[in-house]
Amino acid sequence: MSAPRKIAAGNWKMNGTADALAEVEALLKEHAKPGCDMVLCPPATLLHRMAGIADKGALAVGGQDCHARSSGAHTGDISAAMLQDAGATHVITGHSERRTDHGETDEDVRAKTEAAHAAGLIAIVCIGETLEQRDAGTTLDIVAAQLGGSVPDGATAENTVIAYEPVWAIGTGRVPEIDQIAEVHDFLRARLESRFGEKGALMSLLYGGSVKPANAAEIFAVTNVNGALVGGASLKAADFGGIVAALGKS
């Protein structure tokens, strides 16, 4: 690996039943050779079935979260090993909705990321500031603390992807200015290189927050943006495919 991998990842969140798998079929039909890595993270109820479709080769499948323990009395939770057994190769850790809705701390996210690594999964570790933190001018302090606390020492370019998602831009249609995205991604790259050396230089940095086909090319032109973690736009093949095409050309 001589440069960070280009990755278009989609997070379906709590959306989708069996009928939605037709969108995956359509995506693979149009993007059999996409020019970047494609990852979709469906709800757990669809993961195994989506993995069967993804066996065609152009798509990887991931979980949206995992427990820090490998097994035990944790009703309703799913371990990283269970995700891997169902066909996942990736898992999202530390998404802002998990941090907000479930009170997950950086320490929790680090433990889950370590569990993902132990199960052989690639962790997509999410960090990002709230609107109040952005307005207070503490964005870089916040993402530095989250990066340091959430990413374990064993992280490499092969097992870890970092996704910067400003919380105030997720699902709102609001997108930071290009120079704001560049500032954070450049800062994160410098921090990763300082901590991990060459491994940090090669970790993929994704941007997430209201990415759409219409703005994807401009975002992907930013230095140190190696792809996107997409929410709502990943639910439709046409929308996600447009983002994939833009990344493949970047």
Active-site residue, selected from the candidate residues 31, 67, 90, 95? 95
Active-site residue, selected from the candidate residues 23, 114, 129, 165? 165
- Helical axes 44-54 vs 21-30, angle rounded to 10°: 30
Q: Which residues pair with 161 in a beta bridge?
A: 124
Q: Which two tokens stand for residue 213?
A: 């086909």
DSSP three-state, residue 122: strand
Q: Exposed, middle or buried by CB within 10 Å (0-12, 13-18, 19+), for 223? A: exposed
8 Å CB contact between 67 and 112:
yes
Q: What span, in angstroms and rounded, lies between the C-alpha atoms of 176 and 208?
A: 10
- Helical axes 21-30 vs 237-249, angle rounded to 10°: 30
Q: What is the DSSP letter of 79?
A: B
- Distance between start and end Cα atoms, the chain: 18
Convert 205-220 into a string of H (helix), E (strand) and C (coil). Answer: EEECCCCCHHHHHHHH
8 Å CB contact between 6 and 247:
yes
Q: What span, in angstroms and rounded, lies between the C-alpha atoms of 43 and 48?
A: 10
Establish whether 95 is a catalytic residue.
Answer: yes
Query: Residue 83: which residues within 8 A CB-CB, separation 6 or more?
Result: 44, 47, 62, 63, 66, 91, 119, 121
Establish whether 102 is a catalytic residue.
Answer: no
Active site residue ranges: 95, 165
